[in-house]
Amino acid sequence: MNEIEFGVDTFGGVTKDESGIPVEHPQVIRDLIDDAVLADQLGLDFFGIGEHHRPDFAVSSPEMVLASIASLTKNIRLGSTVTVLSSDDPVRVFQRFATLDAASNGRAEIVAGRGSFTESFPLFGYDLQDYEVLFEEKLDLLAKLVKEKPVTWEGKTRAGLRAQRVFPTTANGIPTWVGVGGSPESVIRTARHGFGLFLAIIGGSAERFAPYIDLFERAQDQFGVPPQAGGGPLAGAGSANR
């Protein structure tokens, strides 16, 4: 019987004080840390923080905030919801989360995705015309990196790698998911790479996402990859217990 796990995730949205004045970014981040500490004390399983690069959200580097949370908590798992992989370097993503995993004693999780907005593309010098190839290639590279073996990879969006090791290593690996908005193609891609599936159910009935879960499980069988674990704050889908 599959376990049901409970967690919370936040985009780090700017709140307002009692006078209706927007709270400054530094205080929003400190409040997020307090929220995570409380979630740990209450026994929740997961705390996730999103990445944005705009004035109405305070967190542009989830791993930094999660590292602060790691030092103040004991049990709760910590992840990004999501890391905008298209405009990041998968090697650095792995390194940052491997470091977080060490600091948190094995509680780090990666949730990679395209993100809800596109402001990170011009910020980091990427062309939106490359939207599809950026995500496909970087997801492919991340799939190799999380295996923590020498990586050989070639693509158009970054320099290739030849039998390259990436450090630090982790004690037990990093659970890695892909945040998906409900596209069948994205579900199949996630299964092909052997990642866990996070369905981003922001509104509407959860029942309408059931066909995507079935598709994910069928695709895993078709590709011959091990069934990925279920659970997660964005309605994670899978067919095995954690």
Confidence (pTM): 0.91
The predicted pLDDT at position 204 comes to 72
Ranges of residues in the chain whose predicted pLDDT is under 50: 1, 230-242
The predicted pLDDT at position 113 comes to 96
Neighbours of 86 (CB within 10 A): 26
Task: Report the greatest alpha carbon distance in the chain.
Answer: 57
Sign of the Cα pseudo-torsion (60, 53, 189, 1, in order): positive
The predicted pLDDT at position 229 comes to 55
The predicted pLDDT at position 241 comes to 27
The predicted pLDDT at position 153 comes to 98
Tokens standing for residue 33: 């840390």
The predicted pLDDT at position 67 comes to 98
Q: Are strands 236-237 and 161-164 parallel, antiparallel or unpaired?
A: unpaired
The predicted pLDDT at position 163 comes to 98
Instruction: Tell me if residue 34 falls in helix, strand or coil.
Output: helix
* Cβ neighbours of residue 207 closer than 8 Å, sequence gap 6 or more: none
Q: Which domains does the chain have, with CATH numbers?
A: 7-234 (3.20.20.30)
C-alpha to C-alpha distance for 18 and 232, rounded to whole angstroms: 32
Residues in the chain, total: 242
Omega prior to 168 cis, within 30 of 0: yes
C-alpha to C-alpha distance for 138 and 57, rounded to whole angstroms: 25
Q: Break the chain down into helix, strand, coil percent, rounded to 5.
A: 40, 20, 45
Residue with structure tokens 């600091």? Answer: 103
Amino acid in position 242: R
